[in-house]
Amino acid sequence: MQNLIDNFFAYTITGLTIGAVYALVALGYTLVYGVLRLINFAHSEVFMYGTFAALWVVMLLGGRPGAGVGQVIFWVAMMFVAAMAMSGFIAVLLERVAYRPLRKRNAPPLIALISAIGASFVLAEIMGLRSRITSWVGLDDNLRDYVRNSRNNAGMPTIIAPQPIFTIGGYHVTNVDVFVIVGAIAIMVLLDQFVKRSRLGRGIRAVAMDPESAALMGVNRDRVIQVTFLVGGVMAGAAAVFYMLKIGITRYDAGFILGVKAFTAAVLGGIGNLRGALLGGFILGLAENYGSAVVGSQWKDVVAFVLLILILLFRPTGLLGESLGKARA
Amino acid sequence: MSTTTSTPAARKPTSPGFRERVTNLPKAVKILLWVLFAIFLFLLPLLNIPFITTEGSDFGGVLFTVATYVLVALGLNIVVGYAGLLDLGYVGFYAIGAYTIGVLTSEHAHMSWVVVVPIAIVIAMISGIILGAPTLRVRGDYLAIVTLGFGEIVRLTLVNSEWLGGAQGISDIPKPPGFELFEVPSIDWSSGAPVVDLDTTSTFLKFGINDFVPYYWLALGIISLVLLFDILVKSSRVGRAWEATREDEDAAELMGVPTFRFKLLAFALGAAIGGLSGALFATKAGFISPDSFQLLLSILFLAAVVVGGAGNRWGVIVGAIVVSYFPERFREFADFRVLVFGLALMLLAIFRPQGLLPPRRTVRAKRADERQAVLEEGEASV
């Protein structure tokens, strides 16, 4: 307990940065759940592909520590472009291959989960076997740096050196922390406005509220679902960039535990509710950091899951309720 | 195997002709067929049938693994298939069963295996009730994530608790008491034709460290008992209550079915069988650590149930065999196993969404739905 009081702000800032990543990934779960009422189990792999896209683009552009400000901004911008494009593409592909065929056949919801689990294995293993795949197509020499040790951690050069900007309560808040937290919130505000104001956002809300009536009103359901997956994927791509800037290490199975956490965050805030995902992500990030300060960091994940169970027992619809369909977005 | 009137073939809904022929066989023939099938299953590890037998790893051990999966699938089928509760943390109960054995026979006490196994079952059952009582009131999708969290909590508690051996786990779990009645020879195919090999034998119920065949026999015996139990429960009032709850919880409640209590019962029974499977696993392995109880295992268990056809006990047995045997058989493609498994799950979801052997009721319900759709919307529907 004393540890928590002494380092309160350190835990708070760390909690908020990781919480921002959870929140962005949670948006993908929440959007898909709101529209399709199914748990997109493979969303964690969408995120994982984003981390690799971010990593590869930095390697490709020759990212290194200690570059000038303009250079760093360019690298980070390219990371966003690459990760969002990759994650968005994987998410749309996932919908096409794993979900749409099932929807056409009116399969029971449980089988969608199985299909998602299968897709998740396939995506993770393709990444884990990438060195084999490149050697088959004969690109071994060209891509060696990108694919080597494909089952081990892949680390990214620190392109933004963490520098303290200001100090609260003895903790030096770095530029990376500020960028991650502010950036994540900004992206979520953008998404919130997109769902609330744009034509496509109205379509998403309409399908979430009542798919059949929406179809009668001329909403193209398949198209809306595709856009939903795309938007969720792009959010996961943004999360991947923040994750790589803050943590800097990824692996072919890095998505799994983060996906579970992000889903927990989505449920915590009320699945189907965009603002709930934001709130749930931050609360989860804070709670597991505070919890680990009190009972030891090895219990961090237990704290997160116990919190989830408690929330579901006392407020089964999550903190903010389920409301993608409602006007509040 | 029990001698009931329903055979695996008789459950298969797609070939009514074959089913009728099997059902119309005289009872004596049916019993005889069952006995022959049971003998075949017991001798399977010693027959060393080419192609079926795994090359790289000990076939007795592989069959034992398959048998534990079958047991787990039967237990999880009660929860997922009969009661319709999505459980993603089944490995938690499996771990609890295994660790009960570990703690009571090796780590903190040295009790007899025969005494500890029932204790393991009871403890797993109690943990099922403790988890189920508060959480079964939440909705289906949430139950999935709560149970998933439970499985992780169990594993992380095992990793972090020194009293339970920490990350190193528990070793030196004693073998169950056995007796040496007779030796069973195996068959050697190396010359191209089956030859009885009297040198390589398995002793009936001597639980050693090299020969895993007796463990397989033990597991097979337990499966028979669980299967008998399963058949009795499913055809009783309890089974019908589960079915009603699964199909429409509100309607069942209105008809006077105490749905919560029956869901809890399904959860407890499933947990008990999961604990029993874990206990068996710990017995054969002799060593357990938290790494043996990864979340992935829960997903494999669920895949076994859904692949086979949730709700049909013969289906889930097939599913368990598919999920556990094929990865072992095709070990030479070890690096690509998970990839192929993932692809197979996706294909199965598209082409056999009800599982390989769906329960008969689902097939009937689906036909009724289709007729309804045609009546409502005409031929131009879909």
Q: Please tell me which residue of chain A has the smallest CA distance to B341.
A: A118
Residue A280 in any domain: the answer is yes
Torsion of CA A63, A68, A69, A74, to 10 degrees: -40
Shortest Cα distance, chain A CAs vs residue B299, angstroms? 8
Residue A323 in any domain: the answer is no
Q: What is the mean pLDDT of residues A109-123?
A: 84
Interface test with B, best of A264, A309, A313, A314 (most B CBs within 10 A): A309
Q: What is the mean pLDDT of residues A191-203?
A: 89
A118 touches chain B (CB under 8 A): yes
pLDDT for residue B86: 83
Residue A327 in any domain: the answer is no
pLDDT for residue B226: 93
- C-alpha B48/C-alpha B54 separation (Å) is 9
Is the pLDDT assigned to residue B4 strictly greater than 50? no
pTM of the entire predicted model: 0.81
Contact B338 A125 (CB under 8 A): yes
**pLDDT tens digits for range B23-40:** 777 888 888 888 888 888
pLDDT for residue B139: 67
Judge whether A112 and A38 are in contact, CB under 8 Å. Answer: yes
Shortest Cα distance, chain B CAs vs residue A271, angstroms? 10
Q: A137 versus A228: which is more confidently predicted?
A: A228
Q: What is the percent of chain A where pLDDT is above 70?
A: 98
- C-alpha B46/C-alpha B170 separation (Å) is 31
Shortest Cα distance, chain B CAs vs residue A239, angstroms? 22
Is the pLDDT assigned to residue B205 strictly greater than 90? no
In Å, how far are A59, A149, A157 from A131, measured between CA atoms?
Answer: 17, 7, 21
Reported confidence tier of residue B129, pLDDT bands at 50, 70, 90: very high
**pLDDT tens digits for range A180-190:** 999 999 999 99
Judging contacts by C-beta atoms under 8 Å, the chain B residues touching residue A107 are 349, 353
Residue A35 in any domain: the answer is yes
Judging contacts by C-beta atoms under 8 Å, the chain B residues touching residue A308 are 145-146, 149
Is the pLDDT assigned to residue B270 strictly greater than 90? yes
Contact A118 B344 (CB under 8 A): yes
Judging contacts by C-beta atoms under 8 Å, the chain B residues touching residue A37 are 141
Q: What is the mean pLDDT of residues B106-120?
A: 84
**pLDDT tens digits for range B89-100:** 899 999 999 999
pLDDT for residue A218: 87
Residue A12 in any domain: the answer is yes
Is the pLDDT assigned to residue B9 strictly greater than 80? no
Judging contacts by C-beta atoms under 8 Å, the chain A residues touching residue B309 are none
Q: What is the mean pLDDT of residues B346-370?
A: 76
Judging contacts by C-beta atoms under 8 Å, the chain A residues touching residue B152 are 260, 301-302, 305
Judge whether B50 and B22 are in contact, CB under 8 Å. Answer: no
Q: What is the mean pLDDT of residues A291-297?
A: 84
**pLDDT tens digits for range A265-291:** 888 888 888 888 899 999 999 998 888
Residue A319 in any domain: the answer is no
> For chain A, how many structural domains are there in total?
1
Residue A321 in any domain: the answer is no
Is the pLDDT assigned to residue A236 strictly greater than 90? yes
Contact B350 A101 (CB under 8 A): yes
Contacts of A192 (CB under 8 A, 6+ apart): A274, A275, A329
From A92-101, A162-171, B127-136, B292-301, the region with the lowest mean pLDDT: A162-171
pLDDT for residue B97: 92
pLDDT for residue B15: 53
Judging contacts by C-beta atoms under 8 Å, the chain A residues touching residue B341 are 118, 121
Q: Please tell me which residue of chain B has the smallest CA distance to A308.
A: B146
Contact B150 A302 (CB under 8 A): no
Q: What is the mean pLDDT of residues A125-133?
A: 85
A253 touches chain B (CB under 8 A): no
- C-alpha A238/C-alpha A233 separation (Å) is 9
Contact A316 B142 (CB under 8 A): yes
Torsion of CA B20, B24, B27, B33, to 10 degrees: -50
Shortest Cα distance, chain B CAs vs residue A190, angstroms? 29
Residue A198 in any domain: the answer is yes
DSSP, res A325: T
A292 touches chain B (CB under 8 A): no
Is the pLDDT assigned to residue B145 strictly greater than 50? yes
Average predicted confidence (pLDDT) for chain A: 85
pLDDT for residue B361: 67
From A287-301, B16-30, B110-124, the region with the lowest mean pLDDT: B16-30
Full domain range(s) for residue A246: 2-314
CA angle in degrees (0–180, nearest 5) for B293-B296-B297:
55
Interface test with B, best of A105, A117, A130, A306 (most B CBs within 10 A): A117
Domain ranges of chain B: 56-307
Contact B345 A114 (CB under 8 A): yes
Handedness of CA A168, A173, A179, A180 (dihedral sign): negative
pLDDT for residue B358: 77
Q: What is the mean pLDDT of residues B355-380?
A: 72
From A157-166, A222-231, B151-160, the region with the lowest mean pLDDT: A157-166
Judging contacts by C-beta atoms under 8 Å, the chain A residues touching residue B353 are 102, 105, 107-108, 111
Reported confidence tier of residue B16, pLDDT bands at 50, 70, 90: low
Reported confidence tier of residue B1, pLDDT bands at 50, 70, 90: very low
From A321-325, B187-191, B249-253, B357-361, the region with the lowest mean pLDDT: A321-325
Count of CB atoms within 10 A of residue A320's CB?
A: 20
Contact A312 B303 (CB under 8 A): no
Q: What is the mean pLDDT of residues A287-309?
A: 84
Shortest Cα distance, chain B CAs vs residue A268, angstroms? 10
Q: A3 versus B121: which is more confidently predicted?
A: B121
Q: What is the CA radius of gyration of chain B?
A: 22
Count of CB atoms within 10 A of residue A93's CB?
A: 16
Residue A17: give its domain's CATH number: 1.10.3470
Contact A129 B339 (CB under 8 A): yes
Q: What is the ipTM of this complex?
A: 0.83
A298 touches chain B (CB under 8 A): yes
Contact A105 B335 (CB under 8 A): no
